Chain A
Amino acid sequence: MTVDHERIDELLAGYVLLSLSGDEAAEADRILVDHVPSCATCRATLSEFQAVSGDLALAAPPVDPPETLLPRLHHAMDEVPLAGRTPRRGALIAVAASAVALVAMGGLSLVLGSRLSNAETRTGTALEILSAMRSPGASPVNVTPQDQTPPDSGIVEVSAPDIRTLYLAAEFCPEPAPGHGYQLWLGSDGQWTPVDKMFWPEDGVLLVEVEGVDVARYDEIWITEEAVGQPPTRPSTDGPSWFGSLT
C-alpha cells in the first residue's frame, strides 16, 4: 500500500497543535499506532513538529505566576499519593460541596470527588459528566475490575450518541505502578485501538474526558496499565485492568 506522507504530515501538524477533531483525530491516532513507530521519516517529523509546538509556547509573553502558586503546588505535592497506596476514602469525602456530585441512575451510584487543589477543573469535568448523563441515549456502562484488580475499583463509562465525548469516572481507582499509567482501549471485532493519552487517578478519584470519540463504532471497552514512554500497540495483561461491554 502506498503511504501518502504529505497527508500524514498534515495530520501530524494538526495533531501536535491539538487542532484535529472527529474522524481526522481518529485517523491520526491510527497512524500514530500503525505507521509512525515503524517509519523513521514520520518519527522524525513528529519529533520535530512536537519541538516546534513546545517552542511556540515561548511566543507568549512570560508572566510571573502569583506568589501563592508555588506554596499551593508544594501543598498539593504533599498530597500526591505514593504509587500503590490504597486511596483514602476520607480524603475523598472531605471535599468542598461544590466539587462533589452524587449521581444515581439505574441503581448505579458514584461519588465524583475532587481535591480543592484543582477543584474547578475537576468540577467542570464532573458537571460535564452529569450533563452527558442527561443527553438523549446516554447509557452509563460498568467497566468492571478484572483478575487481581481491586474489586471495589469499578469504573463507569458515560457517553451519548450526540456528544462524541466519552467520560470515565471512578471513586476508588488504585495508583498505577511507578512509570506506568492507564490507557483506554476501544474494541471492535477483536481489534483494539488505544484512545487518547494515558491518565492517572488523583487520590483514587478518576475523572477522564476523551473528546472526538464515536463510541457507536465499538462494542467493548478495556482499560489497562501501560508503561509510560512508548505508545502501546496492544493491551497489556500484566497489571490492573477493567473491562466492559458497550453493546
Chain B
Amino acid sequence: MDEDDRHDLELHRLVSARERPAFDELYRRYGRSAYGVALRVTSQDLIAQEVVQDAFLALWRAPEAFDPARGAFRSFFLSLVHHRAVDAVRREERLRRRTERAANLEPATGEDPAEDVVEDAYLRVRRKEVRAALATLPPAQQQVLEMAYFEGKTQVRIAEELGIPIGTVKTRTLAAMRKLREALREEWES
C-alpha cells in the first residue's frame, strides 16, 4: 500500500466519522475520474452527473460498504461509479426499447474530454499505467473489454454484435482480465 492509498484510507475513516472536509477532499481527488468514466459509459451529461452524485451519496450514506481489507479505496469507489453507470445506461436502453421513443434527456455536449484536467499526480501516473496495460492486449481482447466495460453490454450481446460464439467472448474476456491483472499487479504490490 502506497502513501496515496493510505491517505485515501484516512479520508475514508474521517468520512465514516461524518467529517465533511474529508468527503470534499475525496470528491476533489476522484470527482474527475468518476465523472470521466460515468460520461464515457452513459454518453449523457445529466445521467453521468446523477451517477456520480449517487455514488458519492452512497459513500456518505454507508461508508462501511468499503472494506479496506479487500483492496484500495480507489478501486472500490471507481467500481461503484462504473456499476451505477452501467445500470443507468441499461435502464435507459430498456426504457427506449419499451417506449419506442428517445429518452427525454439532453444529449452529451460532444466536447472533447479535457486531457489536461488538473488531478493528483498519482492518479495521472496510475492512469498512464492502466492505459499502457490496455495497449498490450490483442485488439480482439481490447474490443470485448471495451464493449463490456465502457458500453455496458452483456457477453450475449457482444457475441451477437460481433457475430462470434459466446464462448469466444468469454475466452477473450478472461484472457484480457488475466493479462491486465498481471500487468497491474506489480504496481499494486509496490
Chain A positions near chain B (C-beta within 8 angstroms) = 9-10, 13-14, 16-22, 24, 47-66, 69-70, 72-74, 76-77, 80, 117-118, 120-121, 124-125, 127-128, 131, 178-179, 181, 200, 209, 211, 228-229
Q: Are A19 and B153 in contact (CB under 8 A)?
A: yes
Q: Are B117 and A58 in contact (CB under 8 A)?
A: no
Q: Out of A16, A77, A179, which one reaches B60, CB within 8 Å?
A: A77
**Smallest CB–CB gap between A197 and chain B, Å?**
8
Q: How far is the CA of A49 from the CA of B45 in the complex (A)?
A: 29
Interface residue B174 (Cβ < 8 Å from any Cβ of A): yes
**Smallest CB–CB gap between B32 and chain A, Å?**
4
Q: List 13 A-B contacts (CB under 8 A).
A: A10-B173, A16-B79, A51-B181, A56-B145, A62-B32, A62-B123, A73-B27, A76-B53, A77-B23, A121-B50, A128-B91, A211-B90, A228-B62
**Smallest CB–CB gap between B112 and chain A, Å?**
8
**Smallest CB–CB gap between A238 and chain B, Å?**
17
Across the interface, name the chain B residue whose C-beta is closest to A68: B49
B65: chain A residues within 8 A (beta carbon):
181, 228-229
Q: Are A49 and B177 in contact (CB under 8 A)?
A: yes
Q: How far is the CA of A65 from the CA of B71 in the complex (A)?
A: 26
Across the interface, name the chain B residue whose C-beta is closest to A7: B170
Q: Are A13 and B114 in contact (CB under 8 A)?
A: no
Pairs A-B, 9 closest by C-beta atoms: A54-B75, A61-B113, A57-B78, A62-B32, A60-B40, A57-B37, A19-B148, A65-B35, A54-B79
B104-135 CB contact bits vs A (8 Å, 1 = yes)? Answer: 01000000011101010001001100110010
A211: chain B residues within 8 A (beta carbon):
90
B87: chain A residues within 8 A (beta carbon):
209
A124: chain B residues within 8 A (beta carbon):
91-92, 95
**Smallest CB–CB gap between B36 and chain A, Å?**
4
Across the interface, name the chain A residue whose C-beta is closest to B46: A120
Chain B positions near chain A (C-beta within 8 angstroms) = 20, 23-24, 27, 31-37, 39-41, 45-47, 49-50, 52-54, 56-58, 60-62, 64-65, 67, 70-72, 74-79, 81-83, 86-88, 90-92, 94-95, 98-99, 105, 113-115, 117, 119, 123, 126-127, 130-131, 134, 145, 148-150, 152-156, 158, 170-171, 173-174, 177-178, 180-181, 184-185, 188
**Smallest CB–CB gap between A144 and chain B, Å?**
26
Across the interface, name the chain B residue whose C-beta is closest to A211: B90
Q: How far is the CA of A63 from the CA of B39 in the complex (A)?
A: 8
Q: Are B130 and A56 in contact (CB under 8 A)?
A: yes
Q: Are A19 and B158 in contact (CB under 8 A)?
A: yes
B178: chain A residues within 8 A (beta carbon):
9
Q: Out of A20, A24, A55, A74, which one reaches B184, CB within 8 Å?
A: A55
Q: How far is the CA of A63 from the CA of B171 in the complex (A)?
A: 33
Q: Are A120 and B47 in contact (CB under 8 A)?
A: yes
Q: How far is the CA of A243 from the CA of B159 in the complex (A)?
A: 39
Q: Out of A17, A80, A125, A209, which one reaches B148, CB within 8 Å?
A: A17
Across the interface, name the chain B residue whose C-beta is closest to A80: B61
Q: Are A200 and B185 in contact (CB under 8 A)?
A: no
Q: Are A64 and B75 in contact (CB under 8 A)?
A: no
Across the interface, name the chain B residue whose C-beta is closest to A55: B130
Q: How far is the CA of A47 from the CA of B56 in the complex (A)?
A: 22
Q: How far is the CA of A38 from the CA of B8 in the complex (A)?
A: 29
Q: Are A54 and B76 in contact (CB under 8 A)?
A: yes
**Smallest CB–CB gap between A33 and chain B, Å?**
17
Q: How far is the CA of A64 from the CA of B39 in the complex (A)?
A: 11
A17: chain B residues within 8 A (beta carbon):
145, 148-149, 173, 177
Q: Are A120 and B72 in contact (CB under 8 A)?
A: no
**Smallest CB–CB gap between B128 and chain A, Å?**
9
Q: How far is the CA of A63 from the CA of B113 in the complex (A)?
A: 6
Q: Are B91 and A209 in contact (CB under 8 A)?
A: yes
B127: chain A residues within 8 A (beta carbon):
58-59, 62
Q: Are B62 and A65 in contact (CB under 8 A)?
A: no
Q: How far is the CA of A56 from the CA of B131 in the complex (A)?
A: 8
Q: Are B40 and A61 in contact (CB under 8 A)?
A: yes
